[in-house]
Every structure is written in C-alpha cells, then in structure tokens.
Structure 1
Amino acid sequence: MQTLAAVSLAGGQGKTTTCYFLAKMLAKAGKKVLAIDCDPQANLTFFLNHEVASNQPTLLEVIKGTVSTVDGIYPTSEDNLFLIPADSGLAKVSEYLSGSGTGALILQIRLQAIQELFDYVIIDVQPTRSQICLTAVGAADWVLIPAESATKGVNSLLDTQKFLDEQAKVMAFRGQILGIVPFRDRWVGRTQTLESKDNIAAMKEFANHAPVLPTIRESEKFKQATRQGQLLSELGVRDLEYPFEKIIELLEDCKELDSGVQDSKPGIKVAV
C-alpha cells in the first residue's frame, strides 16, 4: 500500500482537486483506493458526495481510536474508491494529537491495520502547520506539493518545503517528495501567460531537486467535473487529465522504492 499526501501550506493551491482526480482515476484503473479527508473544511468529502451523519464516525474518531480504522471507512459511488470522511469536528483532534506524545505517527499507526486492503491511500491535507497536517505528513510515503502558478503559489512552495525539511530532521517525515505540481497554469489560446511562465520557472529554480511535474491548466472543467462527481474524460476533455496520468505513472514506477521506505519507518513493521 502506497500513501500519498497532497501538502501545501496555503489555501487554493489545488490539493483537493489533485486528490479527487488521482483517487477517481486510480479507482477507474482497477486499483483499490482509500481517500482520506484530513481537512476540517471537508471539501474532498463533499466532492466525493458523502454526507456525514451525526451518528457516523469520521477521521476524528479513527485518529482518536474510539473506532477501528475499518469502521471509519465508507464506500463511494465509484467502484474501488473508499473514503474516511471529515467534517468541521476534525478541528477538535488537534488537542488530542498534541497531547498524545506521538501525534506525528498516529495516522500512520491507524493505517497499519488496513495495509492489505488498499493499493493506494490518497490524503488531502489541511493547509496549515496544524497537528492534523503533522500526522498526515507522518503517514505519507510520498508527498505532492501542488502550487498555484502565481506568486502566492511560489511562496507556498517555499513554506511547504521548509516545513517538510523541519519534519524530516526530527524523523516525523520519513517519506519523499514525489513532485511539485503547478496549478492553474494560465494560457490564452495557445500562449502561456507571462505570469504563469515566470512563476513556474521560479518553482523549478526553488525545487531543490524535486521534479516539477506537468502543469494543471486553468479551466472551468475542473469545477464542473468535481460538482458533478465526474472525471474530465467523461466531460470530453481527456487532455486535461494528462498531469494526473503522469503522477500515476510516477507512482507505479516508484513501487519498489516505496516498499523500501515502508520498511524503514521507525517502530512500524508491516507483516507480509
């Protein structure tokens, strides 16, 4: 099981969009996929058309251990795609995580119980240096950094890289950066705007050896697809799926390396 977290320390960088399409496309390809909504805003939960009932457990209860991990997982309308949802109550988990002593490892520990059930876990992470963000990063074998093709996106990239470096130094992040994904790459006709071009060039300059992956173009089709619970190919714009196809190819290529990362994680050994 490979665990991928989309992390950016600013809102509007494309984390939820990236998680939604990756999860749907992997499931469509026959992979068993678990999406985890690690953001109290619960946008991924909404995009996957899941409504949290008052008596149903969410990620909050899974992290706190009041229910088993399996009992916090729900099917979605997509075959092979399952969800651990969030709601606004997830904000309450910060106190538990900060007082647990092992907050950065809690989600990783909870996911150990389902290692054999899924091929991929895709985590949408809250865009702040919160305890929720820390435990999501701690569970990740791979991190994607979506960053808007604008000055705000470049700044978010720098902040996120610094955050991941800090966590790696204290062994709270033992994974690797899979790549940087420029988001809302703006084009006018067949011409890329100067703003997008310059900011993507800056991302490459500051990438610190992480690959800068194909850009996610600005298009209303992304909003239309998420509103309707569809893939871009189902809307007749398959070419917009190219960045996600390349990420999936990269994940497939990294399977053997990922297995080595899993074995190296402190205190957690996966029974085979």
Structure 2
Amino acid sequence: MLIITAASLAGGQGKTTSSFFLARALAKKKYKVLMVDADPQSSLTFYLGHEVELNQPTLLEVLKKQVSIFDGIYESNYSNLWLIPSDDGLETIQDYLSTTAMGELVLKKRLKEVSDTFDVCLVDSPPQRTQICLTTVVAADELLIPVEASSKGLHSLMRTLNLVEELKSVDAFEGAILGILPFRDRWVGRTQAKRSEASIQDMHEVGQGLDVFPSILESERYKQAIDTGRTLEELGHSNLELPFNKLIEVLERKWLKNKNNPLTQTVG
C-alpha cells in the first residue's frame, strides 16, 4: 500500500480538497483507496458524508490501539473508497503521541496492518505543527504539498519544507516529496491573475527542482462536486480534473518501477 500524505503548515491551503479529489480519481481507476482524516476539524469526514455516531471508533481509537484498525474503517458512498474518520476528540491524541515512545511512528505502524488490503492510502494532515501532523508526515511514502497561490501559501510551503528537512535530519522521514500543488489559482477569462502567476513562479524557486503540478483553479465547481457527490467530469468540467490526473500519471510512472508495488495492478 502506497501512503500519500497531503500536508501544508497553514490553514486554507487545499489539503482536504486535494486529498478528496485525488482519492476519487484513483478510485475511478479501480484502485482500492483508504482515506485517513487526521485533522480534528474533520472536513474530510464531512466531505465524504460520514457522520460519526456515538461510541463509533474513529482515528483516535485506532491510534491509541483501543480497537483494531479494521474496526475504525468505514465504507464510503463512493466505489473503491473507504475512510478512517475523525471528530473533535482527536484533539486529545496530542498527549498520547507526546508521551508514547516513538510517537511519530504510530500512524505508520497502524497502517502496516492494512497494507495488503488497500492499494493507496491518502492522509489529510492538520495545518498546525502538532504531534498529529508529525505522525502523518512520517507515515508518508509520498508527501504532497498543496499551496495556495498567495504569499500565505509561500510561507506555508517554506515551513513545510523546513519541517521535512528537520525530520530527515533525524532519520524520521524516509519518504519522498511528490511535489507542490498550487491551490486557488485565479484566472479571469483566459488571463491569470498577477498574484497567482507570481506566487506560482515563486513556488518553483522555493521548491528547488520539486515538481509543481497543474493548479487547482479558483472555482465553485469543486464545492459543487463535493456537495452533489458527482465528479467534475459529470458536471461538465473535466478540465478541472487535470491536476489529479497528472498526479496519478506521476504516481503510476514512479511506482510502476517496482513490480511489487500495489500500483502495478488495478483492482477489479
């Protein structure tokens, strides 16, 4: 199972949007996809239409090993897509991860238990530099960094890259950075807004050779797709799926090199 974490150290950077639409694109190609909502705000859980019922296990109980990870996984309304949800209680995991030996490895260890069940796991990380954030980054085989096309986004990018370097320096992060995904790229007709254009140029410079994928445009169509449960293509806006299709192209090309990798075969 390939683990992809969407992480960016500021709010409003498109982590949940990126995770949701990439997961749906992978599921559409018949990959079995597990999504992990690691943000106490639970936006991903909401996007997938899942309501956490009283006494229902969530990521909190999975991380604390109070239940089997399989007991914390729920089938979504979408084919080939499953979820480990979160709720407000996830905030309480901080002390547990801080006091547990090698707490940053907890999520990685739990996900190993389902590595033969799913092809891809997509983790939506919280925007704050917390213990939850650290365990999601350390778990990643590939780290995707969504970044708003703004000065705030560039600051988030720099903070996220600094965190990765810190984790690498202590051999905690063994994955790779998949690339940077610009978010809320604003266009007026056929003309890109100067702020967006300048910000994306800066992303190339700050990223120092990292892939910068086609942008998630500033558009209400993404929200419409989430609210209606339909794909962007079904809404007549297949062009907006370009960022996620390009991500999958890179993932398949990169991971197909290893014949034992789950992305070598789709699941029928």
TM-score (norm 1): 0.93
Output the amino acid matched with 1:213.
F
Q: CA deviation at 1:259?
A: 8.1
**Contact kept? 2:37, 2:125, Cα under 8 Å:** yes
- What are the superposed Cα offsets for residues 108-137 of structure 1, whole Å, 9 maximum, x if unpaired? 100111111001000000001100001101
SS in 2 for 1:235: coil
- Taking the TM superposition and a 5 Å limit, the aligned residue runs for 1:130-149 are 130-149=130-149
CA distance 1:146–1:58, shift in 2 (3 Å): same
Aligned position for 2:216: 216
CA distance 1:136–1:76, shift in 2 (3 Å): same
CA RMSD of aligned residues (A): 1.5
- Taking the TM superposition and a 5 Å limit, the aligned residue runs for 1:19-38 are 19-38=19-38
- For 2:258 and 2:101, how far apart are their aligned partners in 1? 27
Question: In the alignment, does 2:112 pair up with 1:150?
Answer: no
Question: In the alignment, does 2:92 pair up with 1:92?
Answer: yes
- Taking the TM superposition and a 5 Å limit, the aligned residue runs for 1:1-272 are 1-256=1-256
**Contact kept? 2:255, 2:261, Cα under 8 Å:** no
Aligned position for 2:266: none
Q: CA deviation at 1:260?
A: 9.4
SS in 2 for 1:79: coil
- What are the superposed Cα offsets for residues 219-251 of structure 1, whole Å, 9 maximum, x if unpaired? 010111112222211211010000000001111
- For 1:258 and 1:205, how far apart are their aligned partners in 2? 31
Q: Which runs of 5+ in 2 are unaligned?
A: 263-268
Q: Which runs of 5+ in 1 are unaligned?
A: 263-272
Output the amino acid matched with 1:99.
T
- What are the superposed Cα offsets for residues 4-58 of structure 1, whole Å, 9 maximum, x if unpaired? 0000000000000000001111111111000000000000000000000011100
- For 2:133 and 2:259, how far apart are their aligned partners in 1? 23
**Contact kept? 1:50, 1:76, Cα under 8 Å:** yes
How many corresponding residue pairs? 262
Q: CA deviation at 1:257?
A: 6.0
- For 2:257 and 2:109, how far apart are their aligned partners in 1? 21
SS in 2 for 1:234: coil
SS in 1 for 2:226: helix
**Contact kept? 1:2, 1:258, Cα under 8 Å:** no
